[in-house]
Amino acid sequence: MFPNNSELISAYPLQSKVFGHRFTPNQSLYEYILEFLLVAISRKTVGNNEEEALFPMNPDVYDKEIKYFPEGKVGLKRFIFFNKSKLEGKFEMDTMAYELCVKYLKDRIEIETAREFIDEDYVISLFQNLLYGFNAVIQNRSWFAQSLLPICKEAIFPEMMGMKKDRNGKYDNSFDEEFIDNVDTKFEKNRYNFMARGGEVYYLHVLKALNDYPKYSHEIEQGFNNLLNQFNEFSLLSNFIESVWEEGEGEGFKQPEINKTLGVIPDGFNNREEKTLVELKNILTSTMHPFEKIDILSYGIILQIITMSYQQAKFASGQKLGCWIFDINCNRGTSHPEVKKLAQNAFSKYEEVYLKALYNNVEGNIKEGKGGKLRSEQETIDEAVNNSLKVYRKLGKRIGIIRPVNEKGMRFTLNETILKFLVTSLIAPGTKMTLDRFLYKIHDHFRIVIGQYEYKKEILEGNVETLSDVSFLDKNKEDFHIMLKECGFLRELSDSTSIVENPYKEVTL
């Protein structure tokens, strides 16, 4: 495990012991990258040592407890989301705080224009709509559970839940000492409702990988720093709003104190370490627009997580590395019948591996459930399935690699966003390779099987059914060829040679 801390893992439920602490169904696609970046930008301690780097290069990370201390920034979050959020969760104290924040901002705004319609209300609305336009997670949530895209460090918020029992007090519209002391602190700061540790697990994976392969540390550290500092205007605006709120509340005002302890990840993630770093490096060192980069990384991180979780399931069940068979034309509804059949069978076996990993490790995990009753082995397994296998299935559907969504005949496929991630992460910026070489790289990094060659290699390794004729996979490869061409990544030099190229240039970090 990493870090090597048996005390942390002793109280874990089964799914966390097998796959890392932890994944739950409520975490949305963008909350994985947001939680990952939140850990990275926060002040950290490794053992007793303070760390300011995004990814501390410190031998103590292997066996010392790692904590991080995110900044609450409740005032900024309330300013952006409160007015546009659903009524539930709009407690009186937050209504008062929102109105006071707006008042403080109006007092600080100076307008020099001859246009009569531009006044303080117009500017406030402009600020709100500008920031709100970069929302990442809205859904049907209260304002405190919503999030922005990581357009700058200041726009990355920790999870803080406003509970009715804590925030439903009555106030006489006076901003007294009690109000000042509590308005931004009465939140549940250490619950994991939506940011449910999936990003923390990925952070630990990258942290260990960098300490094991330090030659990538500068480019990964600087790459993420650059990504989060591309838009200085957003940082200045966000800092202005938060600082005006805090200054307006005066000396007695308290920021919420948040500290979180990172969990552990299992040893089965190890085989992905350098591969993950290569993929991140290629994207972070490209000239891709920052917003596009954030989007591609959000999808790609999920693909990486699903991949390493599957390889961990293989590891935990005592099996060799597994593979995925992708039915490329599944999304278009024109699959070759043999490809479709093979991909469906492979998907069923893929999910069986998760079950085997859980059953192999269930001993000693039966614990007391609700009401003090002992939880049976099957109840333990059922809970673990809901918080591992079903989460990965849900994530796969969200990023478009598992189809159809109705769960009948499910299999792996590709969409344009994941294809773009594969091209830009496996081919260095400004370079190219043959189609066959690219298929080899996809198989090497993600164990994805598309054509004959990759399938025959898996036969030799004993991972798939031995078939005398797999020529029907040529149609799958041809569909992949067409998809690359339609997305602008393919250049044909002759009838027999096709080149896949990364269209972005390289930047020096």
Q: What is the pTM of this model?
A: 0.94
Q: What is the pLDDT of residue 364?
A: 62
Classify 41 as helix, strand or coil: helix
Indicate whether 107 pLDDT > 90: yes
Q: What is the pLDDT of residue 8?
A: 67
- The strand pairing partners of 68, in sequence order, are 44, 260
- State how beta strands 448-449 and 324-325 pair: parallel
Comparing 262-271, 272-281, 290-299, 432-441, the range with the smallest average pLDDT is 262-271
Tens of pLDDT, residues 132-147: 999 999 988 999 999 9
- Per-chain mean pLDDT for the chain: 90
Indicate whether 217 pLDDT > 80: yes
- Residue 404: asked if its preceding bond is cis (omega within 30°), the reply is yes
For the chain, percent of residues with pLDDT exceeding 70? 96
* pLDDT, average across residues 498-506: 95
Q: How far apart are CA 122 and CA 95, in angstroms?
A: 20
pLDDT band at 368 (very low <50, low <70, confident <90, very high): low
Q: How far apart are CA 225 and CA 206, in angstroms?
A: 15
* pLDDT, average across residues 104-116: 86
Q: What is the pLDDT of residue 369?
A: 54
For the chain, percent of residues with pLDDT exceeding 90? 67
Torsion of Cα atoms, 20 then 21 then 26 then 32, to 10°: -70
